[in-house]
Structure 1
């Protein structure tokens, strides 16, 4: 893995997560893709090239490993220990977060509608 430039906040924690992930996105399908062509795990690596949507460099992020925990407020997610974090490429992170929101909405019972009169 080349060009490991850590973020400004919590660089040591980010580095530990990236080392544990071997610099590769750890998504195993929570984003909605099965990643079967890549052994069941997203193929994107930190500082690798994104071959879709105009290319560009992929910058992995350290975020909660469990999809439901992706909905935690930022201050709670930042307090998680490194064992509960995973490396995510932006695409998988965004899609997994959206799937978690959808699952949360589906699990929440609909409330009574407000009366108009």
Structure 2
């Protein structure tokens, strides 16, 4: 986990703890709409890696693990304990959040990552 610079505002080390528990890899298992079948059912994107050519390095997000939780207002998501958070690459996070919003699941309000 060395070399990871936490985002501003991570004064408690929560982002670092979530990334450590995820071994620095996105924890999506298909809620984004992709099967991730070529990668054992889990998104292959790693923090600091590249999701595609000609794109900058990926910064994983710490956000609610449950897709419904991605629709929580930021102040409620920030109160979740570490065990209810997961590491998400931006693409899986956004796709999962859009799917949850379309299906009318979860709470209403802004859907943000914590970091």
Range into which the TM-score falls when normalised by the shorter chain = 0.7 to 0.9
The structure-2 alpha-carbon separation of the partners of 1:97 and 1:2, relative to structure 1 and needing over 3 Å to count, comes to: same
- 1:74-106 deviation per Cα after TM superposition (whole angstroms, max 9, x unaligned): 11101100000000000000000000001117x
Q: List structure 1 segments (4+ residues) > 2 angstroms apart after TM superposition.
A: none
1:99 maps to 2:99: yes
The root-mean-square deviation of aligned C-alpha atoms, in Å, is 1.4
1:2 deviates by 5.6
Answer with 1 or 2: which has the greater Rg: 1
Unpaired segments ≥5 residues, structure 1: 106-117
1:27 deviates by 0.2
- 1:57-81 deviation per Cα after TM superposition (whole angstroms, max 9, x unaligned): 0000100000001000011101100
| Residue aligning to 1:28 | 29
Unpaired segments ≥5 residues, structure 2: 106-115
The structure-2 alpha-carbon separation of the partners of 1:63 and 1:10, relative to structure 1 and needing over 3 Å to count, comes to: same
Task: With the length of structure 2 as denominator, give the TM-score of the two structures.
Answer: 0.85
Which structure has greater helix proportion? 1
Distance 2:74 2:3 in 1: 26
Task: With the length of structure 1 as denominator, give the TM-score of the two structures.
Answer: 0.84
